[in-house]
Amino acid sequence: MASIKHIFNELHYEMTRKIAEGGMGLVYEAQQLGAGNFRKVVAVKLIREEYSAIEEFQNNFIGEARLVADLIHTNIVQTYHLGQVGGQYFMVMEFVRGINLEQFLEQHRKLNRPVPVDLAAFIISRVARGLAYAHMKCDREGRHLNIVHRDIGPKNIMLAYEGDVKLTDFGIAKALDLMYNEEGKVIAGKDEYLSPEQASYAITDARADLFPLGIVLTELLLGKNLFRSLDRAQSRRNILTMPIPKFGTLRADIDVGLENIIQRALLRDRDRRYQSAYDMLTDLELYLYSDRYGPTNEKLGVYLKDLFGVRDPVVPSLSTRPPI
């Protein structure tokens, strides 16, 4: 950490703390420094040193940065800059003051309380909104990029304490002129959050992101991923063959409207599944807002701060606000 701090100080980034790490990468909170005592909190993502000299990992990292550079949307974590120092590539990204959806789920398990149904649907609707934008994105020449995220899961969904929901980590996404993981030979994604296409080594399109989005919705509602097994191969088999339950029988306040959305998102036949994230977003918003005052970013923010004990003098606690 000391050497990293020294290197980035020379680039006018003051590394504050490590906030995430995976098998091949690290993410730090940092202060971007500028003239006139300018300071901006950012996230800095970099390849682990032992992988930084491997061309494949460099290409994947550069490809992710190029792909997300123009994905500017309130429900997608923004990337500001791709740099290189001492042979090591790094990305400067939007810092989200909050938690990821896995931490959100874990806190509910710890407190032994269910995620409110409306709030679960709202979170997923915001992810669908970000996906709808990414799936429709064209390059500067007007060519459709055909982006498929391929790694939809709780770790890659961020919840800001202000209530914003943001999709992140396009590291294994595929797009026009960008696909370093060859479909048909390898499986990209986490076994318990795959689409049937991914689990069976088939070529994917944007609809492959909607099945795992349905999985995440059911995990929010039930507190567990029904497809997960200790055996990775069994998780994939569950994705392909496990009978899909009626979720209203597993949680009484899942009504027929939400049940229909879940069942359509989890159709294994992608020609019968939602055909676009926009279609799924539309159904979720009709469910949330057609006959009542539904959740908002602000209400989600109040809920998060109350859930995690974050004190904000400008936001009253849930006890002083109407229920979500």
Q: Which residues are catalytic?
A: 151
Give the CA distances from residue 324 to residues 115, 160, 316, in Å, rounded to whole numbers and listed in that order.
Answer: 11, 17, 14
Cβ neighbors of 12 (< 8 A, separation 6 or more) are 32, 33, 34
Closest by CA to 150, choosing from 127, 164, 123, 171, is 171
Q: DSSP string of 72-123?
A: --TTB--EEEEEEETTEEEEEEE--SEEEHHHHHHHHHHHT-PPPHHHHHHH
Cα(221)–Cα(113) distance, rounded to whole angstroms?
11
- What does the DSSP 8-state code read for residue 37? G
Cα(42)–Cα(30) distance, rounded to whole angstroms?
5
Closest by CA to 147, choosing from 121, 170, 181, is 170
Q: DSSP string of 223-289?
A: SS-TT--SSHHHHHHHHHHSPPP-GGGTSTT--HHHHHHHHHHT-SSTTTS-S-HHHHHHHHHHHHH
Cα(201)–Cα(182) distance, rounded to whole angstroms?
10
Cα(240)–Cα(200) distance, rounded to whole angstroms?
8
The token duo for 258 is: 């939400």
104: phi then psi, degrees, rounded to nearest 5: -60, -45
- Look-up of token digits 């009484």: 252
Cα(277)–Cα(18) distance, rounded to whole angstroms?
33
